[in-house]
Structure 1
């Protein structure tokens, strides 16, 4: 049975973590935010190239959710074919320390995992 997320976060300690994960959780949102943090402005197809395992539908859904939460901004240029760019909003930029911390932890985890595998092989 699926767990229903809180609608308000005036509960016990840890609800703020849940609130944050509701915004950036999932397989792709963190990666999208990281790419927009490092590249600053990306078009839809540029994101697709940077995330080769994501489907077009999933990318569209994740971008819509991030935009709906105010973390990214979408700018449509009136030309044919349409040109759409995505960037972090000022609010989205406030996640920079969180995204950098996740990357640093991931780098250490991968490096530590490689060392553990190497030690086990010896």
Structure 2
């Protein structure tokens, strides 16, 4: 028997879907092993670690392009560049959080105005959205 994992076992070990593996291969994030004549591709156990790395980076908000950059930085051990990428991501997340907090405040106020209304007048939310 050939050493290595089938794509199904790789997917199960990494906690991802088989189509996710294929997508990452198309994106260049994961190598596709050669297919032996009359056989199935076999993945090295280290590919599980790489898949988990990709999923963890995505969970932290990194795009697949940024994950690719992180993977290339990991190969050359450049912590300062990796840190800079993480700092940029952190700043972006903080800005999104501020934007979401502002949206929450505005929507909360509009919902409150609806709650205060008598139901007969125009909807305050629709009025705000219709303003020029």
TM-score normalised to structure 1 length: 0.35
* Higher alpha-carbon Rg: 2
Point out the structure with the larger helix share: 2
By percentage of residues, which structure has more strand?
Answer: 1
TM-score, with length taken from structure 2: 0.33
